[in-house]
Amino acid sequence: MTAGEIMHQLRLELWHITYARYLEQELFSWQWWAIAAFLAVLYVVWWRFVDKGRLVEILLFGSFVSVMSAVVDIWGVTTAHWQYNIRLLPLLPAPFPFDYTAVPIAMMLVYQYCPRWSSYLAWSAAIAALFSFGLAPLLRVAGINTFFNWNFGYYFVILMAYATIARSVILLTLKAAAADRAETRYASRFPPLAQPAAKPLPDEEAEGNSEE
């Protein structure tokens, strides 16, 4: 067997093991119901307080956070820094509830209500501390996650990086879009000038008369 075939076989075996474990131990456990309720409350709260007039902008911000979170989560699972013991769906990495829901929703609300960098970073630090030193250890105690050789302080730094990068990208995007709209409006005020008819040169006039 080639290395690719061996890896495929191992993935199949891992899938059978994890799926059987999901059905026997994870699905409808009290931790599973806690995750489902936690997600439902988060989405209801977010929809209640999100600014519907800026929904596209805020969702774009949240998507940047989710993408960065997904990359880090895949890295952590792949390198065995953490694992999911209870999953809402039988997927690896587990798409809920921490990196793909709680973090983006919290950061979207901070982005919405903190227009200045100073307040934004202060509230982002508070959210990062709450998640890193409060929620993550709670997930470990509840048996939902297991961490291996992992310092929760690393997660605080990672969350602050999410917040800084996502807001910087969004602000640059909005600035570029505003500049493009302003340039379009300016150009629309001045229609193109009609080009004057060119007067024939003397040689061209003489040639035309000779042909007649």
Q: Which letter does DSSP use for residue 52 in this model? A: G
First to last CA, the chain: 89
CB neighbour list of residue 46: distance below 8 Å, 6 or more residues apart: 105, 108, 109
What is the spatial distance between Cα 152 and Cα 155, in angstroms, rounded to a whole number? 5
Question: Is the pLDDT score of 212 beyond 70?
Answer: no
- Over residues 104-120, the pLDDT tens digits come to 999 999 999 999 999 99
Closest by Cα among 58, 37, 32 to 47: 58
- Over residues 65-93, the pLDDT tens digits come to 999 998 999 899 889 999 999 998 888 76
Question: Is the pLDDT score of 200 beyond 60?
Answer: no
What would the mean pLDDT of 123-128 be, rounded to a whole number?
A: 97
The dihedral region occupied by 80, where left means phi > 0, alpha psi between -120 and 50, and beta the remainder, is left
User: Tell me, what amino acid is at 162?
Assistant: Y
pLDDT band at 187 (very low <50, low <70, confident <90, very high): low
Q: What is the pLDDT of residue 179?
A: 85
Per the document, the length of the chain is: 212
Question: Is the pLDDT score of 198 beyond 70?
Answer: no
Q: What SS3 class is residue 159? A: helix
Q: Is the pTM of this model over 0.95?
A: no
What would the mean pLDDT of 150-169 be, rounded to a whole number?
A: 96
Closest by Cα among 82, 106, 87 to 162: 106
CB neighbour list of residue 80: distance below 8 Å, 6 or more residues apart: 148
Comparison of pLDDT for 196 and 16, the residue scoring more? 16
